[in-house]
Amino acid sequence: MHPFEDGNGRIGRTLAEFALSQTLDTPMLLSLSKIIEKNKSTYYEQLKTSQQSLNITEWINYFSEVFLDAQIDAKELIQFTLKKVKFFDKHTDQLNARQAKAINKMLENGFADFEGGMTAKKYISINKTSKTTATRDLQLLNELGIFKVEGSGRSVRYELNF
């Protein structure tokens, strides 16, 4: 195996996913690396501890938790994707290209909220459009029930009514 600069962890995680897929006799729709990346310090701590002893009970417990978290994450991603597809199927005829682009930007991070909601300033930045067009598009999205308004005046922002 070709060693990477930071070790063979990626290859090891890939082999673990491959072995699990073979055992289940079906491709796995999850990513161990994604979960490990969320708390890399714990991963390295568990690796270090397990390499200092022949007792790998803690490593097995840790890896089992990572595997379970990866399954939960995959399920949430699938549910989010289905929800997003249904959303666009329902509203596709109501959205212009600018509105669709802004909503896609809001949904880019999956389940994570679009920080601070959509504002006219963000809409202008995403679509390279005028304030008048941004305001009109955002108001229409609100009237259609696609957005809900939070705040007022200069601090108005829009959240997806997802």
Per residue in 43-91, pLDDT (tens digit) is 989 988 888 888 889 999 999 999 999 999 999 889 988 999 999 999 9
118 and 61, same structural domain?
A: no
Domain region containing 130:
95-160
Return the H-helix or E-strand segment holding 138.
helix 131-143
CA torsion angle 27 28 32 38 (round to 10): 130
CATH number for the domain harbouring residue 130: 1.10.10.10
Q: Is the pTM of this model over 0.75?
A: no
100 and 156, same structural domain?
A: yes
**Cβ–Cβ contacts within 10 Å for residue 97, how many?**
8
156 and 100, same structural domain?
A: yes
Which tens digits make up the pLDDT trace of 80-136?
889 999 999 999 899 999 999 999 999 887 766 677 789 999 999 999 999 999 999
- How many residues belong to the chain? 162
133 and 70, same structural domain?
A: no
